[in-house]
């Protein structure tokens, strides 16, 4: 039985994170069963010898957190998904028109097995897990979200990236009929993001297909979105239709628009201000259930609190320069 079958609970039963919390015990049991296949993560592209690869135990320490979860209602109604409008409430109102099934992903570029693949086939063989991660938006707010999904590395390795695959580029669907926001030239559509290959293969990087034990709502990037917890939220690209292995650093949507404000790396860093605001603190959106948002200002942490896991990826890099 896979995790999803184990979790076949009617949506009506899962009303808030309190009910959900009880089910986490069940999830924990299932999550502990299969091998997390962390050790093999670096196989496809070993990091340079100067970098100390993260150990499976170190990586696992980043897979969950005791911090208060952001309420389901807030995770699903306070969103950035410009394809559906630039307002925080726009995606939850407008994204119902996004057809998430059938869904096909094109895999291209520097790999032995390129092609178009149905989402079910893309995920076949990968073990579904739960990861509770902090999400820190470059705008200065953050959430704690329990995602359901698979490690990106497990999916990428099946396409056998070649030695020329130095980066991975991701593209979001751009369909004017389904995405009213595309009529606004806020960014150069389609939305694109990218990672260096060793970042992409890092065990923390996740392809989410659900949250709170339920299928991903459209506004959160259904049916498949990236989650890179140590980088600003805009790197976590939604509703992915294309994955390309590239030799050159790929162009990315926010960087194209404002290179001075949004770097390719965009690792969370409280010591490097955004040109228009400080990044030292963030509004943590973690409600107690009595009202909508209960924003608390907290200190932002280096690499969003994942420095133990990821700092070694950037040894030798000037993190101020590479914002
Ligand atoms: N395709 C696409 N992906 C996107 C965005 C977007 O506008 N379009 N917004 C990004 C930003 S700025 C953030 S903070 C996160 C927000 O994810 P959430 O709405 O699930 O919290 O999605 C990111 N992924
Ligand atoms: Mo963001």
pLDDT reading at 45 higher than 50 = no
Does any domain span residue 320?
Answer: no
User: In terms of Cα–Cα distance, which of 155, 148, 102, 100 is closest to 124?
Assistant: 155
What six digits make up the tokens of 249? 């650093």
More confident residue, 16 or 197: 197
More confident residue, 294 or 270: 270
Does any domain span residue 211?
Answer: yes
What's the pLDDT at 320? 86
pLDDT reading at 59 higher than 60 = yes
Q: What is the DSSP letter of 231?
A: B
Choose the weakest-confidence range: 36-50, 66-80, 259-273. Answer: 36-50
Q: Helix H segments across the chain?
A: 3-6, 17-32, 56-61, 72-75, 90-94, 119-123, 152-157, 197-200, 253-257, 307-310
Q: pTM for the full model?
A: 0.86
Considering its fold, how many domains does the chain have in total? 1
User: In terms of Cα–Cα distance, which of 148, 137, 65 is closest to 284?
Assistant: 137
Q: How many residues does the chain have?
A: 323
Share above pLDDT 70 across residues of the chain, in percent, rounded to a whole number: 81
**Confidence band for 313, pLDDT divided at 50, 70 and 90:** very high
Does any domain span residue 263?
Answer: yes
In the predicted model, what is the mean pLDDT of residues 6-15?
A: 35
| Ligand 1 pocket test target in 170, 174, 193, 221 with most atoms within 8 Å of CB | 221
pLDDT reading at 290 higher than 80 = no
Count CB-CB contacts under 10 A for residue 306: 24
Strands 281-285 and 295-299: antiparallel
Query: Which atom of ligand 1 lies closest to the CA of 78?
Result: 19
What's the pLDDT at 293? 56
Whole-angstrom distance, CA of residue 306 vs CA of residue 323: 17
Would you say 312 and 54 are in contact if contact means Cβ atoms under 8 Å apart?
yes
Residue 140 sits in a domain of what CATH number? Answer: 3.90.420.10
236 alpha carbon – ligand 2 mean position (Å): 9
92 belongs to an annotated ligand binding site: no
- The b/e string for 241-280 (b: 16+ C-beta within 10 A; e otherwise) is bbbbbbeeebebbbbeeeeeebbbbbbbbbebeeeeeebe
Per-residue pLDDT tens digits for 186-210 = 899 999 999 999 999 999 999 999 9
Range of the domain at 188: 3-42+53-314
Assign 1 to helix, strand or coil: coil
End-to-end, the C-alpha distance of the chain in Å comes to: 43
**Confidence band for 51, pLDDT divided at 50, 70 and 90:** low
Does any domain span residue 319?
Answer: no
166 alpha carbon – ligand 2 mean position (Å): 25
Q: What are phi and psi of 83, to 5 degrees?
A: -60, -15
Does any domain span residue 212?
Answer: yes
Does any domain span residue 323?
Answer: no
Whole-angstrom distance, CA of residue 49 vs CA of residue 164: 18
More confident residue, 320 or 164: 164
Does any domain span residue 261?
Answer: yes
Q: Which residues line ligand 1 (CB under 6 A)?
A: 79-83, 135, 137, 172, 191, 220-221, 233-234, 236-239
Does any domain span residue 321?
Answer: no
User: In terms of Cα–Cα distance, which of 127, 93, 171, 109 is closest to 1?
Assistant: 127
In the predicted model, what is the mean pLDDT of residues 232-241?
A: 98
Q: What are phi and psi of 160, to 5 degrees?
A: 50, 70
């Amino acid at each position: 039985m896979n995790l999803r079958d184990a979790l076949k609970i009617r949506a009506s039963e899962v009303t808030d994170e309190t009910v959900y919390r009880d089910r986490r015990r069940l999830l924990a049991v299932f999550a502990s069963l299969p091998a997390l296949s962390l050790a093999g993560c670096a196989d496809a592209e070993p990091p340079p010898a100067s970098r100390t690869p993260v150990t499976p135990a170190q990586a696992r320490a980043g897979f969950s957190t005791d911090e208060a979860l952001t309420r389901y209602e807030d995770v699903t109604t306070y969103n950035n998904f410009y394809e559906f409008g630039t307002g925080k409430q726009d995606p939850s109102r407008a994204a119902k028109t996004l057809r998430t099934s059938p869904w096909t992903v094109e895999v291209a570029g520097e790999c032995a097995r390129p092609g178009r693949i149905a989402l079910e086939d893309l995920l076949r063989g990968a073990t579904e897990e739960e990861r509770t991660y902090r999400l820190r938006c470059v705008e200065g707010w953050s959430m704690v979200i329990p995602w359901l999904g698979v490690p990106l590395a497990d999916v990428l390795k099946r396409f056998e990236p070649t030695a020329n695959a130095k980066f991975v580029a991701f593209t979001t669907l751009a369909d004017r009929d389904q995405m009213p926001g595309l009529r606004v030239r806020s960014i150069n559509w389609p939305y694109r993001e990218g990672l260096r290959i060793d970042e992409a293969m890092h065990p923390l990087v996740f392809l989410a297909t659900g949250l709170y034990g339920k299928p991903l709502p459209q506004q959160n990037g259904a049916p498949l979105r990236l989650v890179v917890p140590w980088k600003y939220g805009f790197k976590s690209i939604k509703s992915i239709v294309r994955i390309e292995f590239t030799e050159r650093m790929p162009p990315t949507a926010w960087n194209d628009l404002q290179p001075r404000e949004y770097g390719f790396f965009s690792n969370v860093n409280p010591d490097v201000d955004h040109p228009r605001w400080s990044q030292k603190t963030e509004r943590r959106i973690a409600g107690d259930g009595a009202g909508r948002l209960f924003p608390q200002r907290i200190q932002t942490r280096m690499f969003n609190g994942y420095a133990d896991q990821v700092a070694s990826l950037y040894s030798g890099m000037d993190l101020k320069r590479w914002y």
